[in-house]
Amino acid sequence: MKDMQDGYTTADGRKIGGVVMEMKNITLRFGGVVAIKDISFDIREGEIRAIIGPNGAGKSSMLNVISGFYVPQEGEVWFHGEPRPQMRPYEVAQQGIARTFQNIALFEGMSVLDNVMTGRLSYMKSGLFSQALWKGKAEAEEVANREVAEKIIDFLEIQHIRKTPVARLPYGLKKRVELARALAAEPKLLLLDEPMAGMNVEEKEDMSRFILDVNDEFGTTIALIEHDMGVVMDLSDRVVVMDYGKKIGDGTPDEVRNNQAVIDAYLGVSSD
Amino acid sequence: MRSVRPGGPEWEENKLAQTQSGAEGLLSLPALLQRNAKQFAHSPAYREKEFGIWQCWSWAEAEKEIEALALGLINLGVNKGDFIAVIGRNRPYMYWSMVAAQSVGAIPVPLYQDANAEEMAYVLSHCGARFVVVTDQEQVDKVIEVQDQLHQFEHLLYLDPRGLRKYDHSQLHQYSHVQDQGRAAYDEFIPELKKRRDELTYDSTCVMLYTSGTTGKPKGVVLSNRNVIESAKNASEFDKLGLDDEILAYLPMAWVGDFIFSVGQAYWTGFCVNCPESAETMMTDLREIGPSYYFAPPRVFETQLTNVMIRMEDAGNFKRKMFHHFMAHAKKVGPAILDGKPVGFMDRMKYALGDFLVYGPLKDTLGFGKVRVGYTAGEAIGPEIFEFYRSLGINLKQLYGQTEATVFITVQPDGEVRADTVGVPAPDVEIKIADNGEIFYRSPGTFVEYYKNPESTADTKDAEGWVATGDAGFFEDKSGHLRIIDRAKDVGKMADGSMFAPKYVENKLKFYPDILEAVLFGNGKDRCVAFINIDLTAVGNWAERNNIAYASYQELAGHPKVLASIAEHVSTVNKSVAEDPMLSGCQVHRFVVLHKELDADDGEMTRTRKVRRRIVEEKFADIIAALYDGSAQISTNTEVTYEDGRKGAISATLDIGDAVVVPVAAQKVAAE
């Protein structure tokens, strides 16, 4: 990895920067079950990094390690050049990491706008009292945060459901609202857990475009887990392939596609 | 032949105003802009909802923005007489680009934003546009896709930079950057801009609009400043529009109506043009703005009525009963109250109560709370739909017009509004009816020519300036109102010689909320048959309430219960058609519910959603044959085009429905 310290240039001409996060020999166990076994890889600034693998390969566990939700028994997560200590969720958010969930985790009874505004929580510094009175700092803060939220609503083209309670939205739009909330935190690193699960082709195309646009417009580094191989290969700059908790491939989509171990894992191997 | 001329003191007044406008030197839209920036400097000129807030520009601010863009266009090398295409949804910036183009002596050509690449290529190469202004990546992609076919195309300006960072920017320019460059080069180019602005005359081209055309390739209608300003002025005076009026600009910019309302009339009277946040938020934005002057094609009113009816079906028992009770009362006395006719005291009191409980809140929800003048045009509106809105107290009127007339041919004056006529000749418009029933007109709004198409120009406009509308109609003797029967070429004769006017029957069918579109066939035949498109919103809602599961439009359209209810509607329509002695032969004998919606992407409709009969007739010839030969089912395979241009095919087996027909043959024999 040393030779790539200064980053690389992608096929479409984007400059990818240095390492933002590095997984060093991560092993994660749940009792006797080894979910992740000795995996190392890095995520670089400005890239779209995918983690793929068949069911039960340990992808979601990996994402939870990256987000700091799981603490691996062995190995270290390096963030911005230093080992990351064990953190609480709000500390993770303060570091500039935001995520979406495989099973949507929004406040169903609240409007889309309010949900997006919750993503701004770490930017709200005024106290309970001044917020309740809606005076001085609290008011200015709310206006500034609303502005950011509105820009994201505009960006993700969900203006028409701004005031709609989330519970009334179809699945595909809920996914988009979740992405909006994650973006409202203005993250440096965005983690997407199966952003296209359960979507039809058109919704997948829309979501792919939004992911690419987020990366392009805001320069956000994105790590995503995805099942749909076609989508992953089109979207990502580099791909990690997992199978039974082990890393079996790592590289550009083309390299991964031609990797024999990956082909075997996805298509199966004949028994002879 | 008979001819009608407007007369009376109003006409003289208009004449006076006309000479005044010439005397004031208001010979072009840029000149009107200068006047507005001075006279109405602080009045709102444009509003657009963005980031959840209504952003506002005063006339003085709008003038600065337009000037900056005009200077930027000179900087980019726009010459006098160049064509500048404008493609995108209604946004203040897009309207500014049209006036900026005029300011530098170029001609704006607005295009339909949902046009596919092929249609776009035709228009762009036909007018030879050197510059194109678009809203976003989607439109940029379309232009780039057809770029090879465009020999004169040079530069593309875009508003929203999103997703365009990686594009080759040798021909691409961000709108705001062009403005910045214009501002930076102010001293260098302002004399040139002033010179070009002063060179505009009353007869120089103001705009070129391509007509969608139900047949053949689109034609570029050239409209002069005289056409646009005179029409805008006359219409504004007719409806007493003023500085304080508000409109919502949401109809396609390529449509002549939008150009006259949102540009012509807005510049003449100085009222404010409001642009919605996006197409999806249009209804919310309509409610927030509460326009006083509103315009919509019948389809929009139909959709809104359908939505109201669906929501009332879902409402509680008490509310539903209250709604129907007061709507019945409104139907009885509402239009009369609106027209200022005498109505009994008790009826008035009850109407006032209804207004408090039902009509007021409903109008508010629909966004019509403040509408002072509302128009519908483009197609005939179902009388029941029309009466519904009028009974609520909304001053909805009809007008009859076309691109070639710069919209206005006839309009309904306040208090003389009826569902079945289109009103009296608009100010300064002369009308005559040919022997075959075709309507001809002559007015200051009469178009200059079809661009690069002298044959069509000669076919449509004669040496004396009379323009053929292609519509058949007649003046009612009592009221002097014009009544349109149908497109002159669509009106035909049945085998027995009785009149065949498809639109008359189709409009009756389309009043049912679950029927979106209907196409009647029968010209030269002994009986009529029809295609029906169901309305997915209405029928889907009905299916949900009745526990009918369906996976697709096609499946729902073919459901036996749907067929049964459509058959009932058709039979009811037949009964009402039979009552008109002239048209009783147009009753629908058999019908089929189509497995796909008629769509502009498949060429079955125009972009303004008018059915292209001939294309539908050719495309579904097998189904029509089956309707006539008595078979109970037909298997068919249809090609469809998706929004991105890909093609696919759907196949289906359609059941053919029979309708009850009221026998009229006996009467006819008796008459003969």
> Looking at beta carbons, which residues of chain B come within 8 Å of A212?
163
Residue in the structure block whose two tokens are 């409001």:
B274
What is the predicted pLDDT for the residue at B222? 95
User: Is the separation of the CB atoms in B266 and B273 below 8 Å?
Assistant: yes
CB-closest option in A147, A159, A213 to B163: A213
Name the architecture of domain B2-51+62-229: 3-Layer(aba) Sandwich (3.40)
Q: Of B222, B269, B201, which is closest to residue B445 (Cα–Cα)?
A: B222
Min CA distance, B430 vs chain A (Å)? 45
Min CA distance, A79 vs chain B (Å)? 29
Contacts by B49-53, CB closer than 8 A, 24 or more apart: B49/B275, B49/B276, B49/B277, B49/B281, B49/B285, B49/B288, B50/A154, B50/B277, B51/A147, B51/A150, B51/A151, B51/A153, B51/A154, B52/A113, B52/A146, B52/A150, B52/A153, B52/A159, B52/A162, B52/B277, B53/A150
Contact B52 A159 (CB under 8 A): yes
ipTM confidence score: 0.79
Q: What are phi and psi of B654, to 5 degrees?
A: -105, 135
Positive or negative torsion for Cα B116, B121, B127, B132 = positive
Best of B51, B135, B314 to substitute, by most chain A Cβ atoms within 10 angstroms, is B51
Which of B80-84, B169-173, B340-344 is least confident?
B340-344
Min CA distance, A32 vs chain B (Å)? 46
Contact B280 A12 (CB under 8 A): no
Contact B51 A150 (CB under 8 A): yes
- Rg over alpha carbons for chain B, rounded to the nearest Å, is 26
Q: How far apart are CA B588 and CA B506, in angstroms?
A: 10
What is the predicted pLDDT for the residue at B233? 93
**Quick one: which H or E segment has residue B303?**
helix B298-314
Average pLDDT, chain B: 88
Neighbours of B656 (CB within 10 A): 19
Which of B166-170, B442-446, B510-514 is least confident?
B510-514
Neighbours of B79 (CB within 10 A): 12
What percent of chain B shows pLDDT beyond 90? 54
Question: For A82-100, how does the pLDDT look when each residue is reduced to its tens digit (9 = 90+)?
Answer: 888 888 888 888 888 999 8
Q: What predicted TM-score, i.e. pTM, was given to this entire model?
A: 0.81
> Looking at beta carbons, which residues of chain A come within 8 Å of B163?
209, 212-213, 216-217
In the three-class reduction of DSSP (H, G, I as helix; E, B as strand; rest coil), residue B131 is classed as strand
* pLDDT above 50: residue B61: yes
Contact B163 A157 (CB under 8 A): no
Average pLDDT, chain A: 87
What is the predicted pLDDT for the residue at B668? 43
Give ranges for CATH 3.40.50.300 in chain A: 1-96+187-272
Reported confidence tier of residue B24, pLDDT bands at 50, 70, 90: low
Reported confidence tier of residue B213, pLDDT bands at 50, 70, 90: low
Going by the DSSP 8-state scheme, the letter that residue B260 receives in this structure is: I
Which of A256-265, B53-62, B303-312, B375-384 is least confident?
B375-384
Q: What are phi and psi of B289, to 5 degrees?
A: -80, -40
In the three-class reduction of DSSP (H, G, I as helix; E, B as strand; rest coil), residue B410 is classed as strand
Which residues lie across from B424 on neighbouring strands?
Answer: B411
Min CA distance, B209 vs chain A (Å)? 30
Mean predicted confidence (pLDDT) in A148-172: 92
Please name the residue of chain A whose CA is at the shortest distance from the CA of residue B282: A160
Domain B492-671, classified CATH 3.30.300.30, yes or no: yes
Question: For B245-291, how does the pLDDT look when each residue is reduced to its tens digit (9 = 90+)?
Answer: 999 999 999 999 999 999 999 999 999 999 999 988 998 899 999 99
Min CA distance, A271 vs chain B (Å)? 41
Domain A1-96+187-272: homologous superfamily in CATH = P-loop containing nucleotide triphosphate hydrolases (3.40.50.300)
Reported confidence tier of residue B605, pLDDT bands at 50, 70, 90: confident
Min CA distance, A12 vs chain B (Å)? 8
Contact B162 A213 (CB under 8 A): yes
Reported confidence tier of residue A198, pLDDT bands at 50, 70, 90: confident
Reported confidence tier of residue A263, pLDDT bands at 50, 70, 90: confident
Min CA distance, B282 vs chain A (Å)? 9
Q: Where are the beta strands (DSSP E) in B504-573?
A: 515-521, 528-534
Which of B108-117, B362-371, B406-415, B505-514 is least confident?
B505-514
* pLDDT above 60: residue B515: yes
Higher pLDDT: A72 or A229? It is A72
> Looking at beta carbons, which residues of chain A come within 8 Å of B278?
157, 159-160
Mean predicted confidence (pLDDT) in A104-131: 87
Mean predicted confidence (pLDDT) in A61-68: 89
What is the predicted pLDDT for the residue at B532? 94
- Both tokens of residue B206? 């103001």
Best of B162, B282, B642, B643 to substitute, by most chain A Cβ atoms within 10 angstroms, is B162
User: Is the separation of the CB atoms in A137 and A128 below 8 Å?
Assistant: no
* pLDDT above 50: residue B11: no
What is the predicted pLDDT for the residue at B269? 95
What is the predicted pLDDT for the residue at B443? 93
In the three-class reduction of DSSP (H, G, I as helix; E, B as strand; rest coil), residue A17 is classed as coil
Neighbours of B198 (CB within 10 A): 13
C-alpha distances (whole Å) from B409 to each of A127, B469, B482 are 65, 10, 10
Q: Of B404, B408, B63, which is closest to residue B208 (Cα–Cα)?
A: B404
Mean predicted confidence (pLDDT) in B184-201: 94
What does the DSSP assignment read for B25-49? Answer: T--SHHHHHHHHHHHTTTSEEEEEE
Mean predicted confidence (pLDDT) in B128-147: 93
> Looking at beta carbons, which residues of chain A come within 8 Å of B277?
159-160
What single letter denotes the amino acid at residue B497?
Answer: G
Reported confidence tier of residue B637, pLDDT bands at 50, 70, 90: confident
What is the predicted pLDDT for the residue at A272? 57
Q: Of A203, A162, A200, which is closest to residue B278 (Cα–Cα)?
A: A162
What is the predicted pLDDT for the residue at B215? 60
Which of B1-15, B511-525, B616-630 is least confident?
B1-15
B55 to chain A, any CB pair closer than 8 A? The answer is no
> Looking at beta carbons, which residues of chain B come within 8 Å of A217?
162-163, 165
Question: For B543-571, how does the pLDDT look when each residue is reduced to its tens digit (9 = 90+)?
Answer: 988 888 888 888 899 899 999 999 999 99
> Looking at beta carbons, which residues of chain A come within 8 Å of B280?
159-160
- Both tokens of residue B597? 């919606």
What is the predicted pLDDT for the residue at A13? 73
Best of A112, A158, A159 to substitute, by most chain B Cβ atoms within 10 angstroms, is A159
Q: Of B304, B328, B72, B329, which is closest to residue B178 (Cα–Cα)?
A: B72
Neighbours of B549 (CB within 10 A): 9
Question: Which CATH number is associated with domain B296-487?
Answer: 3.40.50.12780
Contact A160 B280 (CB under 8 A): yes
Q: Do domains B2-51+62-229 and B492-671 have the same CATH topology?
A: no
Residue boundaries of the structural domains of chain B:
2-51+62-229, 296-487, 492-671
* pLDDT above 80: residue A114: yes
User: Is the separation of the CB atoms in B274 and B370 below 8 Å?
Assistant: no
